Amino acid sequence: MEKKLVGRTEPLITSIMWKSLLAQVLYQIDVHLVLQLNGKSIFNVKEEVKDTLIFNTFVLCQLFNKFNSKSIEKLNVF
């Protein structure tokens, strides 16, 4: 609310938002590929537990992304 208005021709997603989005996507892909491919051997668990671990990691990544994207111009991970 404290920012000045932007014009109609300005992009909805700015370059800073694209960079943040790309960083978050690459981070989640890396984490989930590692868990999918090596999760059983890393944590020494059964297949069902590994799948639950991957789902819970996805949910926590989304929660982290929600709090991280509240102030997109600032470099703040918390």
Q: Give me the tens of pLDDT residue by residue for the chain, a chain 78 residues long.
A: 677 888 889 888 888 888 888 988 999 999 999 999 999 999 999 999 999 999 999 999 999 888 777 766 665 555
pTM of the model as a whole:
0.74
The pLDDT value given to residue 65: 84
* Dist CA 21 CA 25 (whole Å): 6
The pLDDT value given to residue 77: 54
Tell me the two tokens of residue 74: 């600032």
Tell me the two tokens of residue 10: 């300005």
The pLDDT value given to residue 60: 94
Residue with tokens 């938002």: 17
Helix (H/G/I), strand (E/B), else coil: 47: helix
Residue with tokens 């996507």: 25
Element (H, E) at 7: none
Helix (H/G/I), strand (E/B), else coil: 63: helix
* Dist CA 40 CA 48 (whole Å): 10
